[in-house]
Structure formats: structure tokens, C-alpha cells
Structure 1
Amino acid sequence: MSKSVFQYSAFKQIIFIYVKICSSRIIKINKQKNIMFDLKVLQSTLDQIEQEKNIPRDKILEAIEHSLAAAYKKDYGAKGQIIRAHFNPETGDLEFFQVKTVVDDTLVKPALTEEQLADPNFEEEVDEDDERVRFNVEHHMYLEDARRIRGGAALEDEIIFPLDNPLEDNEEFGRVAAMTAKQVIMQKLREAEKDIKLARYEKMVGTVLTGTIQKVVDGKVFVELAPRTIGVVDRKDQPKGEWYKPGDRIKVFLESVEPGTRGVRMTLSRTNPEIIRELFKTESPEVATGIVEIKSIAREAGARTKMAVYSNDPDVDPIGACVGQRGSRINAVTSDLGNEKIDIIVWSEDELLYVANALAPAQVLDIEGDLEDKKAKVIVAEDQLSLAIGKEGQNARLAARLTGWKIDISGTDENPDLVNELETEETEDEFVSLDDLKSAIGKATNENSEIEEENPETEEDSKTE
């Protein structure tokens, strides 16, 4: 038997047992032989639902009690009554109660008179500023009357009155009552399952989940994260150029979780920059433990990402920790993102150096910046200019977004003075003038002479040695 069939049969079993409860086949005053058998079936069914649907036993029993109360009210209750039921699955005992709330004139309006109720032309005046409800004898009790029953009663307390159990007299709930109760128990179990699912996935917001693409409808991708748990990737959260095929495995970023009309609505994303951080946490232990920090991420989903990293341990290379041996770690991340390109640069406290690093793979010759306005003027070689700007300005745009700086990039043709300075520095580094060479030879000769004077050595001493 498949898991889904097993769950469905378990759900039907609890409805079946409920119907048996309503038809007094379990709960009777006299001890019959089939009582223990039915109670054992009930216990096993409760265990089955608790395991398969992850619904706590107390929630399941609460749903049963709500359904029994609904059935009682349908057949035996009065309009406006608040009925509660208590069912003991160990003994099979079932009790019904009516609940009234303690009120006074500050909480309720006076009840309508018999003449007002009998008058077909009577229209009740509506006061928008008065939020009080009309007194109903079936679920309200004035404070004075409540204190005659319980001396310490206070406003909004509940006074409970036991009711006769019709099942003790071998009576049964009617068909309509049974159908009402069936709907109630199904609704309560769905609500319990939704609350548990909501609490579980609320803790996972901001993390990466793996699911299976179920279907694609009107541009929306429906991803099954667990049995009967579906998340949606809207069109705006999909990278350009990505294709989705039902049945494929996919990693998604959980952005938000909220209750919906048919369960829990989960908003998923493939474009959120934080998906990069979470994927590297799964691939790199250094990132997961905080040894290597991802300081900033700039992303154009589906095309390219720039990421600034910093190592809290001087012995750990932050870029190497993210790239991995032979690129194994970064390749795993890019494969999850549809082979999106990822540039990793080293973050620096020196903001100008950080800006220069952010323009990688282009090499910066010179940079000037305004620290207050966060504006930088960068000069690169002419053959590096297109690399620094990138295709359609992508590299410069991502660098600006990564650092938070406005970056003006120019080539050496627009800065001839800088070119002359650089050429002079290179010439001075590569060539030595004749005067400097003579000076260095003379200095070396003088140093050798001084050493010989300090350590005189005769020809005989040399021969002796």
C-alpha cells in the first residue's frame, strides 16, 4: 500500500470511528464485549494519524470533541448555545456541557423584549460607536446571577453546566448531525495540520529548500517540498532564461510563509541574492561555521554574481574556501543556479581597495575617491577598459551595487599624465644609470679596503696557514 493511500485510509478510519461513536456503538453505560475492541481500534487509528500527518494526539482528540459538540447542537441544542464535549479515549466516557460567559451592561446590550421580538415591523437602531453585542440568555449570564452559582465569578469567566448525554439512552445522532460533525472533524484536522506546517516552515524562512517541480501554470512554478506541501515561484522571482520541467529537482529560497485559504502559502524565489549565501553554507564548512564571512552580494540572477568574502582566520584563504579543490565547491553552487557565473573578491576595510577589487577581473592602475559621497574615479589600461565595464556595463554595475559606491571608469588615453608617470616608474625600476653604477662600485671597493685594514694578514701568516 502506498503512503498516500495509507494516509487516506487512516483519515477515513477516524471518520468511521466517529460515526460509530455517534451511533452509540462504542459509548454505552453497560459494558459490552465490543467496547474494548473498538477502543483499541480508536487508539491505533489515533496513533496512525499522529505519525502520518504529524498531528499531536491532543489536537486529534480536540477535533473529535468539536465534531461531537457540533452533532449534539444540531440535534439537541438551542439557538445561540455554546456546547462543548469531552471524550476520554481510554475509557470511552463522553460528556456534554453548555458554557455561558459572565457579562454586565458594559459588555452586552439588554435583551430584546417579547413585544419587540413579536413585532414584525420592529427595527433595531444601529449605533456604530456601540460595539456591544445583544444579550443572549443561551450563552450569557449576568454577573449577579453567576455569583449565586459561584461566589468568586468575575466578568468574562465561563460558567459550565453539564448536559444529559443522549447516547446513554441508546439514542443516535441524526444523519444531518452526523454529516455536520464529519465536516467539522475534517476541518479541524486540516486546521491542525496547517498550524503545524506553518510553525515548521516559519523556522525555515531565509533558508534554501530542495523540492520537485510539480507543474508550471501561467508562468508560475509549483514546487512540491514535501507531501501535500507546495510552494510557488512567481514569474518575478525566476531568473531570465531559466526553463522548468515537471519532475526536475530544484533548489529554492524560502522568502515567506503565511496561512492561506487551502493550507500554507509559501513564497519561493530563485532570484534572491541570499540564495547564494545559503548555497555556499552547504558547500563550504568555513562559510557555515563563520570562519569565512560573505560580506556582500550583488546579483543579476541567471547571468552573473559578485560576492565579497573575508576571512576571520589569517591562515584561511577566503577565496580558496569558497572555490574548493579544483573548483568543486563553486561548481556545485553554479550548477544549482543554472551555471550562473560567480566572481569572488576579497573584502577590505580600505574602501578604495575594496572598490578596486570589486572591478575584478579588470586590473586597476589608479583610483581616487571621495569617502563622504562614496564616489570613486578609476583608471585602467585601455585593453582593460571593456573588461572593467563589462558587457552592457554589467561588471561596473555589479561592482557599484556590491560596494555601494558610484564608480567612474576611464582608460589611460584620457589620462596621458598618468601614463607618463607609470612609464617613468617602470624605466627607473628596470634601468640603472652609469653614475649610479660607478658610485655603487666605488662604495663596494671602499668597504673591502676597510675590512682589510681591520684584519691585517702577513704573507708568512698566510703561508703558515
Structure 2
Amino acid sequence: MNRELFEAMETLADEKGIDREVLYEALDAALVSAYKKNFNSKTNVRVELDSDDNTMKVFSRRVVVDEVEDEDLEVSLEDAQQIDPSYELEDVVEHEVTPQDFGRIAAQAAKQVVTQRVREAERGVIYNDFVDRLDDIIIGTVQRMDNRYLYIHLGKVEGKLPTNEVMPGESYQVHDRIKVYVTKVENTSKGPQVYVSRTHPGLLKRLFEIEVPEIYEGIVDIMSVSREAGDRSKISVHADDPEIDPVGSCVGQRGQRVQTVVDELNGEKIDIVHYSEDPVVYISNALSPSKVIDVLVDEEEHATTVIVPDDQLSLAIGKKGQNARLAARLTGWKIDIKSESEANEEGTSDEAESELADQVEEDEEV
């Protein structure tokens, strides 16, 4: 019986990918519980497991004291020293009390406890696997849906895709395959809960990392992403090596790389811009495809006023302010856009020209 029990433990460990120590700790606790229940014992006991010899032994444990108040838990110093003269107060005296038919009783009693521990350990393995996939893309299959979630089969666990994080215009049927971005992993009493998204900016970033080897290898860095899922996004990129064109790397030959990302996002428009530490240059780039005449920077307010040609104003602002909004999120600066004629009327243009002239003089002096 003992050999079969140990073999079953080894099989469980191999099949479930669970650490053997976890299983043996569970078995240990189960055997202690089984002994106390079946033999009405109040004594503290310790179980010794030996998987090499397929043996299970139970030892009672009593503390050495001057005056015994509970014979189940304590032993006098005099009696202890009759067993071994080296015993002193507060030592623990152990004595084997393994019942003859303990193997059969242990197997029956341990089954439920070990099964529970196995389930918990298995959940822990799954949780750790998916924690490692946090902020990453994973491919799953649509399993079912309700008003709140699409439930995505991700292998050992079911991912939850909130309906408000499905891209506008997308619709899915059961068994459809889908790429999702892992946003949160929780370890709950019901097992690991994995939440995923199709609208998160991280999805766009990870897609570029997959499609652009220079990003994956760290030659090109993605500095920032702003996204209005299903409609339009902006991404800023940078390369330390001046010989590398970060934008060209992301676009790819004949636009193949960026088109692959666009196709995955069902036609979402993507602006790829050069990052710069100079806010004037960075914001000018971020407002692409519009042209920019000048950018006035207010460092204290972390705000800018951008002057654009009159015929570029609507392009710079974008439909319902989208272009300006995405540029502001991308750069982290407040952006107020004015046409050239409006700036001239307010005197903003003259101020910009004066600042630009001062900057030129400083550059010349340097």
C-alpha cells in the first residue's frame, strides 16, 4: 500500500508539473490529521516519509518538563532520562507509534487533503506561468461571451476580455482565434483570473516588437505610445546609432512591417514619429502629418503653443481634436494649436520669431 501511495505521488508530480516537496508536505499534513482522527490521539505527532524505502512512520512528541500536567504532551525529566540520560528540560522526546494498518488508513484519509493541495499547487503553477506573461501578447480562442466579457481559452486558464476593451468594429464568434494583451493576473480562491485587452496601448507596442527585429534586439527603442483603438495611434521611436533610421525600421520595406500591424488591428491608422528630447522638435514631429511653423514652450506649465499654416490648422487638430489629443498624450505636453493668422493677430508670431532669433544668436555664440 505504501509503495502504491508513493508511486501515485511521483506520478502526480510529473503529470501536473508540481514540486515534489509541495506534495510531500501535503501528504505529511494529511497523515498527521489521519492519525489523530483515527486513533483519537491528542499527542503531538511527527510523520517521517521515506520515498526510497516506501515507508511512513509516526512519532509521538512530548516536551520534557519538571512537573507533568498533560501526559499526552509532556514527559517528566526523570522518565526522559531513563530513556536517554542526555535529555534536559524543554527537549522533545520522540517515540514511534506507527499503527500496524496505518498505510491503509493513511491512503484513505490523505486522498481528500492531498487532492486539495494538488489543486492549489496546480493553480499556483498556472498563476506563475501567466504572471510571467503580464504585459505580453498571447493567442487564444473565443470560448463564450456574455454582456460583460468575451471568455478566451488560453490553454490552462480562461482569459476575460471586457466588452469595452474589444476594438470598435470588431466582432467575434465562438472558436475564433484572437491575439490579446495580458493586462492583469489575479490569484483568487477560484483559481487564477487573467484579464486581457485589445485596446491597450501595450498591444500596439508588443506588435511592433514582434514585427521589427531592431526593436526586439534593442537597436530601436519605442519611447511612447498613444492610442485610440480601432481608429488611430501614434508611436515615437528612437535609435542611439545615428546611422539607424528608427522610423524606417518600423515602416519596413514598402511599408510591409507597419502594414502587418495595421492588418492585425483591422486598419487602425498608425503614425510613426521620431522622438526628440527637444520638445519643439518632438511636438512638431508628433503633430504629423501637419506642418508646424513654430512651437512656444512654457516649461513651468509644461504647456506649448503650436503655430501652423492657416491651411494646416484642421489637419493639425484632426477630426474632433484627435490628432492634437494623440500628440499631447504621446509627448506628455499640453498643446494649444493656433493658425499663423490667428497668432499674428495676437502677437504670438512675433514672440515666436523673437525667441527663435535669440536661439539662433545663442547657437552662433556657441
Identity of aligned residues (%): 37
Per the alignment, residue 49 of structure 1 pairs with 12
- For residue 154 of structure 2, give the secondary structure of its aligned residue in structure 1: strand
Query: What's the counterpart of residue 48 of structure 2?
Result: 86
2:189 to 241, 254, 261: 261
Report the TM-score when normalising by structure 2: 0.79
Name the residue aligned to 2:158: 230
Greater mean alpha carbon deviation, residues 374-383 or residues 392-401: 374-383
After TM superposition, list the pairs within 5 Å mapping 1:351-390 onto structure 2: 351-390=279-318
Give the 3 Å change call, closer, same or farther, for CA 302–74 of structure 1 in structure 2.
Answer: farther
Rounded to whole Å, the distance in 2 between the matches of 1:410 and 1:240 is 31
Q: Counterparts of 1:58 and 1:141 in 2: how far apart (Å)?
A: 31
Q: Which residue number in structure 2 is paired with residue 161 of structure 1? A: 94
- Matching residue within 264, 267, 277 for 1:336: 264
Q: CA deviation at 1:180?
A: 4.6
Is residue 374–residue 406 contact of structure 1 (8 Å, CA) maintained in 2? yes
Match of 2:198 among 263, 270, 273: 270
- In structure 2, C-alpha distance between the alignment counterparts of 1:301 and 1:99, rounded to whole Å: 65
Post-superposition shift, 1:389? 1.0
Question: Contact 2:262–2:268 at 8 Å: present in 1 too?
Answer: yes
Please tell me whether the aligned partners of residues 352 and 369 of structure 1 are also in contact (alpha carbons under 8 angstroms).
Answer: yes
1:396 Cα deviation from its structure 2 partner: 0.6
Equivalences for 1:147-226 in 2 at 5 Å? 150-151=87-88, 153=90, 159=92, 161-166=94-99, 168=100, 172-173=104-105, 180-226=109-155
Q: Does 1:95 align with 2:57?
A: yes
Supply the AA of the counterpart residue of 2:52.
E
Q: What is aligned with 2:21?
A: 58
CA contact (8 A) 2:273 2:286 kept: yes
Within 5 Å, which residues of 2 pair with 1:96-135?
Answer: 96-98=58-60
> Which ranges in structure 1 are unaligned for 5 or more consecutive residues?
1-25, 28-37, 104-110, 112-135, 422-465
Kindly indicate whether the alpha-carbon contact (under 8 Å) linking 1:271 and 1:301 is maintained by their aligned counterparts in 2. Answer: yes
Larger Rg: 1
Amino acid at match of 2:36: K
Q: Is the 8 A contact 1:216 1:244 kept in 2?
A: no
Given the alignment, which residue of 279, 288, 295 partners 2:216? Answer: 288
Question: CA–CA distance in 1 between the matches of 2:157 and 2:64?
Answer: 42
Q: Distance in 2 between matches of 1:56 and 1:262?
A: 21
How far has the Cα of 1:393 moved from its partner?
A: 0.8
Distance 1:164-1:401 versus aligned 2 partners, 3 A rule: same
Contact 1:364 1:378 in 2 (8 A): yes
Residue 386 to residue 78, structure 1, CA distance change in 2 (3 Å)? same
TM-score by length of 1: 0.64
Letter in 1 for 2:137: V
The Cα RMSD (Å) is 3.5
Aligned to 2:361: none
Work out whether residues 97 and 160 of structure 1, in 8 Å CA contact, stay in contact via their aligned partners in 2.
no
1:70 maps to a residue whose letter is S
- TM-aligned CA distance change 1:357 to 1:153, over 3 Å: farther
- Shift in CA distance, 171/93, structure 1 to aligned 2, threshold 3 Å: closer
**Displacement over 6 Å in runs of 4+:** 100-103, 140-145
